[in-house]
C-alpha cells in the first residue's frame, strides 16, 4: 500500500518558465490541503470499477502536475484498499493545449514525490479546455479540479486601467458575471457526462462574499502600478497594455450553487458538500516567522509570475522577439520584487475558498 506523499520538490525543469508554476504554487498547495478531506470522502464513497476495468482519476486544470501528486497518491491507496492490487489506475491530467506537458511528464517520471513508479498506474494528458469534453462519457471514476475553475473561458470585454476585472457586489449583473455563470454551467454539464454513475467530483476555487470580496482582491495592484509606469515610460505600448488581462472571476456562493437549481442538472449531479475555507497566505506566515522581507518578496513574486506571466506577456506585439518579451517581463517582475521587499505590508493575500464535493447519480 502506498503512503500519501506530502513532501518533495518539483523536479527542476529545463527552462525557468517550465518549473515556475510548481516552484511558486504554495498558495495552491495550501488550498489543496484544505479540500483534501472532501476528496478522501469522495474516494471512500465513489463507485469502484467492475473487475477488469480501470479506475480513472481526471485532473481538470493540472498545470505541470506536481500539486496533483498528493491527491493521486490518496487515490492509489484507496483503490488498493477498496478494490485490490489488480485494479489499474489511469490518471488523466487535463489543461490548455499550450500547457507545459513536457514538464508534467518529466515530473511524473522523476520527481521524488511522484506516483509514477506505482505498479499499474498510468499517466495520460488531454490538452484542451475543460469548458468542453475532456474524456468520453461515463469514463471518469473521480474528478478533481483545484484552483482552476475561477479562470474564465475568455474575458467578455477589455478592462481599462487594470489587469483583471474586480467584480462588484453579488447583486450587480455584469458581462463578466454572465460569462462566469455560463462557464460554470458548461463545466458542470461536461463533468456530469464524463463521470460514471456513482462517480464524484471535488473542486476548490476562490469564492467572493456578497460584497464581491474574495479576501485578497488587491493581489495584482502593485503589478498593475508597475505596468502603468512602463506604459508611461514607453517601455510598453498602449495596445499591449490594453490586451494584458488575467481572466479570473471569483463567484459568490449564490453563483456557485445556481446551476444545481436546474432540475435537469440536479437529476444527474448532487452538490453533496459545500464548505467555506480560508486560505491563509503561506508565504506571509513564513515571513512572520523569519522576518526575511527579501525571501518573502522573492516567493511572492514567484507565485504571481507563475500564474500571471502567460496571460500578461504572451499578448505583446508580434514584432517583439520571445527573448525581448522575456526580458521585459524579467524587468517588470524584478521591479515588483523590489517594491514588495521594501514594503511587504499589504502584499499578504488571504483568500476565501469554496470547497465542493459533487456526486454523479
Ligand X SMILES: C[S@@+](CC[C@H](N)C(=O)[O-])C[C@H]1O[C@@H](n2cnc3c(N)ncnc32)[C@H](O)[C@@H]1O
Q: Are 269 and 361 in contact (CB under 8 A)?
A: yes
Q: Which is nearer to ligand X, 36 or 358 (CB)?
A: 36
Site for ligand X in 147-186 (CB under 6 A): 147-148, 151, 153
- Shortest Å, Cβ 315 to ligand X: 15
Segment 297 to 336, residues that bind ligand X, using CB under 6 A: 307
Query: CA–CA separation, 287 vs 270, rounded Å?
Result: 41
61 binding ligand X? (CB under 6 A): yes
39, 130, 139, 219: which one contacts ligand X (CB under 6 A)? Answer: 130
Does 57 participate in binding ligand X (rule CB under 6 A)?
Answer: no
Chosen residue from 19, 20, 23, 25 binding ligand X by CB under 6 A: 25
87 vs 147, beta carbon nearer ligand X: 147
Here the cell at position 57 is 482519476
Q: Is 219 in the site for ligand X (CB under 6 A)?
A: no
**Exposure pattern of 19-46 as b/e (b: 16+ CB <10 Å)?**
bbbbbbbbbbbbbbebbbebbbebbeeb
Shortest distance in whole angstroms from residue 130 CB to ligand X:
4
Q: How many CB atoms lie within 10 A of CB 110?
A: 12
> Cβ of residue 70: shortest distance to ligand X, in angstroms?
10
- Residue 277 to residue 207: CA distance in whole angstroms: 9
Q: What are phi and psi of 270, to 5 degrees?
A: -110, 130
Q: To the nearest whole angstrom, how small is the minimum distance from the Cβ of residue 186 to ligand X?
A: 10
Considering the rule CB under 6 A, would residue 141 count as an interface residue with ligand X? no
Decide if residue 62 touches ligand X (CB under 6 A): yes
Query: At CB < 8 A and 24+ separation, what contacts does 227-230 make?
Result: 227/163, 227/312, 227/332, 228/161, 230/328, 230/332
95 binds ligand X (CB under 6 A): yes
Q: How far apart are CA 53 and CA 161, in angstroms?
A: 53
CB of 308 to ligand X, least distance (A): 10
Interface residues with ligand X (CB under 6 A)?
Answer: 25, 28, 32, 61-63, 67, 94-96, 99, 129-131, 146-148, 151, 153, 307
Amino acid at each position: 500500500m502506498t503512503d500519501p506523499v506530502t513532501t518533495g520538490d518539483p523536479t527542476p525543469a529545463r527552462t525557468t518558465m517550465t518549473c515556475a508554476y510548481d516552484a511558486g504554487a504554495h498558495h495552491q498547495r495550501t488550498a489543496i490541503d484544505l479540500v483534501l478531506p472532501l476528496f478522501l470522502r469522495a474516494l471512500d464513497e465513489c463507485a469502484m470499477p467492475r473487475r477488469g476495468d480501470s479506475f480513472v482519476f481526471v485532473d481538470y486544470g493540472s498545470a505541470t502536475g506536481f500539486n496533483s501528486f498528493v491527491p493521486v497518491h490518496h487515490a492509489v491507496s484507496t483503490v488498493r484498499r477498496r478494490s485490490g492490487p489488480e485494479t489499474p489506475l489511469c490518471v488523466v491530467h487535463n489543461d490548455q493545449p499550450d500547457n507545459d506537458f513536457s514538464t508534467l511528464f518529466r515530473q511524473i517520471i522523476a520527481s521524488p514525490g511522484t506516483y509514477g513508479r506505482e505498479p499499474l498506474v498510468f499517466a495520460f494528458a488531454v490538452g484542451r479546455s475543460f469548458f468542453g469534453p475532456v474524456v468520453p462519457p461515463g469514463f471518469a471514476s473521480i474528478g478533481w479540479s483545484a484552483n482552476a475553475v475561477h479562470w474564465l473561458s475568455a474575458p467578455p470585454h477589455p478592462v481599462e486601467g487594470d489587469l483583471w476585472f474586480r467584480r462588484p457586489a453579488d447583486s450587480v449583473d455584469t458581462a463578466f458575471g454572465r460569462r462566469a455563470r455560463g462557464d460554470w454551467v458548461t463545466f458542470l454539464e461536461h463533468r456530469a457526462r464524463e463521470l460514471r454513475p456513482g462517480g464524484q467530483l471535488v473542486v476548490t476555487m476562490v469564492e467572493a462574499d456578497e460584497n464581491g470580496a474574495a479576501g485578497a482582491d488587491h493581489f495584482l495592484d502593485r503589478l498593475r502600478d508597475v505596468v502603468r509606469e512602463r506604459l508611461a515610460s514607453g517601455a510598453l505600448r498602449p495596445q499591449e497594455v490594453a490586451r494584458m488581462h488575467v481572466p479570473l472571476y471569483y463567484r459568490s456562493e449564490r453563483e456557485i450553487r445556481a446551476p444545481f437549481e436546474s432540475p435537469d442538472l440536479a437529476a444527474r449531479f448532487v452538490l453533496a458538500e459545500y464548505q467555506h475555507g480560508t486560505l491563509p497566505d503561506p508565504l506571509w506566515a513564513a515571513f512572520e516567522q523569519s522576518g526575511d522581507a527579501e525571501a518573502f518578496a522573492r516567493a511572492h513574486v514567484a507565485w504571481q509570475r507563475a500564474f500571471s506571466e502567460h496571460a500578461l506577456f504572451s499578448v505583446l506585439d508580434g514584432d517583439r522577439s520571445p527573448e525581448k518579451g522575456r526580458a521585459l517581463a524579467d524587468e517588470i517582475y524584478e521591479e515588483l520584487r523590489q517594491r514588495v521587499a521594501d514594503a511587504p505590508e499589504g502584499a499578504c493575500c488571504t483568500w476565501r475558498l469554496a470547497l465542493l464535493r459533487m456526486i454523479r447519480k
